[in-house]
Structure 1
Amino acid sequence: MAELENCKGCGKLFVRVSSPYCPACLKKQEAQFEQVYRYIRQQEHRMATVSQVHEATDVSVNLIYQWIREGRLKPSIFQNLGYPCRSCGKMIQNGVLCDDCLKKLEHDIDQDDDEHDAALKANRVKTYYTRGESRHN
């Protein structure tokens, strides 16, 4: 359902259908995307990094990161393009976390599970029944 919202780019009030950007900002972003894509498509710029693309095109680094995350710019084709891990900032080409942070997170979760299981075991209360009581009350 459409909602009134301020544009994430210019702050102008608009009716949001799907994108957080107004039609004018979307048009501007599309022109910037075409500029970036034309630049990196050239044979001599295929190995450019995000900062090199930013310097050559003057397009926001965050916007370039967004296009890589969305899959519009493919690191499989342009191998030096990437975006920072949300935890440590190391450059990655897919997902949200780098392999190191993902392994650390998995380890922490496993450790928490082990601690939780140990706490449950320690707090387990024994139940004793008398002769007249039934176990299925």
Structure 2
Amino acid sequence: MAEVRNCPSCGEFFNYTGIRDICYKCAQNEEELYQVVYRFLRKRENRAATIERIVEATGVTEELLHKWVRKNRLQPAVFPNLGYPCDNCGHLTTTGKLCTKCQNEIKKDLRNFEAAKEFRENVSKSERATYLASNRKK
């Protein structure tokens, strides 16, 4: 069932069905802008254009370009200088939410955490081990 929401672009009410996060009018406007960008990028000399160059030439916002790359409407395999910002550091990435550098840092931190956890467990086990001394007289 649809729910009524405000369009984040224009503020108008629209029925949100889970397909589109903006109203129909804004979606049509976005589609027209997408066609302008796609026509620009299809030209051989513009395929390696940077995001700044695309924004300058077409008038589309960076956020909209990032959205299209995230949704795979503009594919970095075809247009190598496209990407979207990493959620952690802001550097451009083409897959996932984090860039490769941030992914590697998180993996390293997790490995260090697991090693420290294992070390603490081993120490606590060895502290629990008690040695019984016998009081036998010979």
TM-score range, shorter chain: 0.7 to 0.9
**Structure 1: unaligned runs, 5 residues or longer:** 128-137
Counterpart CA distance in 2 for 1:44 and 1:90 is 25
Paired position in structure 1 for 2:6: 6
CA deviation after TM superposition for structure 1 residue 123, in Å: 4.8
3-state SS in 2 of match to 1:77: coil
Counterpart CA distance in 2 for 1:12 and 1:116 is 52
How many equivalent pairs are there? 128
3-state SS in 2 of match to 1:14: strand
- What does the per-residue CA deviation read over 1:17-52, in whole Å, with 9 as the maximum and x for residues that have no partner? 122101111111001100100111111211101110
What is the aligned-residue identity percentage? 34
Paired position in structure 2 for 1:114: 115
Listed as ranges, the matches of 1:63-74 within 5 Å are 63-74=64-75
Q: Tell me the TM-score normalized by structure 2.
A: 0.82
Greater than 6 Å deviation, 4+ residue runs: none
Listed as ranges, the matches of 1:1-137 within 5 Å are 1-18=1-18, 19-123=20-124
Partner AA of 1:118 in structure 2: F
Partner AA of 1:37 in structure 2: Y
Counterpart CA distance in 1 for 2:106 and 2:32 is 39
**Structure 2: unaligned runs, 5 residues or longer:** 130-138
Counterpart CA distance in 2 for 1:99 and 1:44 is 29
Give me the CA root mean square deviation: 2.0
Counterpart CA distance in 1 for 2:99 and 2:76 is 15
Counterpart CA distance in 2 for 1:31 and 1:4 is 25
